[in-house]
Amino acid sequence: MAILAVNAGSSSLKFSLHPLRDGQVQPFVLSGCIDGLEPEGCPGMRWKYLGKNAQVRLAVPPGIGPFEAALERLRELLSSLAHGSAIAAVAHRVVHGGGQFTQSVVVTDDILARLASFNSLAPLHQPHNIEGIRRFRKAFPAVPQVACFDTAFHATLPEVDYAFALPRKLLGQGIRRYGFHGLSYQYIMSVLQQQSARANARVIMAHLGNGASLCATRQGQSIATTMGFSALDGLMMGTRSGSLDAGVLLYLMEQGWTHAQIETLLYKQSGLLGVSGISADVRTLRANGSPNAVRALEQFTYRVVREAGALTACLGGLDVLAFSGGIGENDATLRADVSARLAWLGVEIDPVLNQKASGSEACTIHTADSAIEVWVIPTDEGRVAASEAALLLARGAHLAA
């Protein structure tokens, strides 16, 4: 038996297959991505199975869409690997659980309807997450579908952190900070708790990728995080603005900007892409080296340092700093720059260890004299989602659903 973990986006589907052994979820044996799933797209699938890579373009027969064709090919792949009839559950990453869902749940029609009410809180993610669940329910009708929430890890945030300075009636309407990247933070914390004696002390985790955020924990629980009501808040990101004076939006509205124009600006045209005018990809900007590319990278680093300082104040100090996400795991220059600017805290990294950290396994990069432990931990949101599904299955929750 195995659990299939999936993350459905607007034009792509990421997946990983996690065997169950004695009820425990194991590292994936199969992982991959199907892209080109937008309407009229030309989908392609790439995957890794037991260390071997493969890829194929997918034919889309007349009368069905790219997503349906992709699911059929995924079913064929699973069957060819002798796992097609052994899927115990499909675990879906769902970005927003609002204030209603603080734990993973087996999906029902009622739950799908409630999740759809959060679409406006995460317009680039939530509708596609939900549509993915609907399509998997149809493709795997006998298999429980489990929704695992990025907001759930932050259910421990104190009110002083999650409440805005707005009339309290708006808080009652769900206008508050929620926090995101929770599945990633849950995984990073689980690794720290296994490998670091300081894991339950004062920790800042940095999930730095196209979407980016920081999270402060004490006793392994989230007490503050940079993302808020939406996945726009906090750090500068690949194409998202991060924190922005609300007066800017009022001004743009006065200038005649529409809701759609503002949404596109904030989600798709800002961040590294907007500042550089070149790319949202840190690798491209490093290689480019132009003044605008350098400016964008410096601004990204500055925002990480600024928010790390704020979270350190909330924690009353710092014991562990952990880098993760595509940038955090793979960009040694970013880690070195952030660490150097946090040297006043006692952060000191070993340049050799920093360069060797490849993003393939968890490792430390701090010196023996560093007052702060510094880790690089490749995240695995799929394994967390699979573990959540396995826990629900063990409790028999799928039977109640």
Sequence-distant contacts of 299-304: CB under 8 A, at least 24 apart: 299/236, 299/275, 300/212, 300/235, 300/236, 300/272, 300/334, 301/334, 301/337, 301/338, 301/341, 303/235, 303/236, 303/242, 304/206, 304/208, 304/212, 304/214, 304/235, 304/334, 304/338
Is residue 68 part of an annotated ligand binding site? no
Strand partners, 145: 90
Q: Where would I find the H helices in 18-167?
A: 66-80, 109-116, 126-139, 159-162
Is 209 annotated as ligand-binding?
Answer: yes
Q: Is residue 326 annotated as involved in ligand binding?
A: yes
The secondary structure of the chain in percent helix, strand, coil, rounded to multiples of 5, reads: 40, 20, 35
93 is in an annotated binding site: yes
Is 211 among the annotated ligand-binding positions? Answer: yes
Q: Which residue has the tokens 């562990």?
A: 320
At position 246, the amino acid (one-letter code) is A
Is residue 381 annotated as involved in ligand binding? yes
76 is in an annotated binding site: no
Per the annotation, does 274 bind a ligand?
Answer: no
Phi, psi angle pair for 31, to nearest 5°: -145, 150
Is 365 labelled a binding residue? no
d(CA 258, CA 264): 10
Rounded to 10 degrees, the C-alpha dihedral 299/304/310/314 comes to 170
Tokens of 65: 């869409």
Two tokens at 351?
């340049």
- Would the annotation count 35 as a binding residue? no
**Has 71 been labeled as part of a binding site?**
no
The answer to whether 271 is annotated as binding is no
Cα separation, 274 vs 281, whole angstroms: 12
Cα maximum dimension of the chain:
64
263: annotated binding-site residue? no
Angle between helices 126-139 and 66-80 (to 10 degrees): 50
Residues annotated as catalytic are 150
Query: Within a 13 Å sphere around the CA of 122, how many CA atoms are in the beta-carbon half?
Result: 29
Q: Is 259 annotated as a binding residue?
A: no
- Phi first, then psi: give them for residue 264, nearest 5 degrees: -65, -45
| CB distance 377 to 206 below 8 Å | no
| 207 in a known ligand binding site | yes
53 appears as a binding residue in the annotation:
no
87 is in an annotated binding site: no
Binding residues for ATP: 14, 207-211, 281-283, 326-330
Binding site as annotated, residues: 7, 14, 93, 207-211, 281-283, 326-330, 381
Q: Which residues are annotated as a binding site for Mg(2+)?
A: 7, 381
Annotated binding residues for substrate, written as ranges, equal: 93
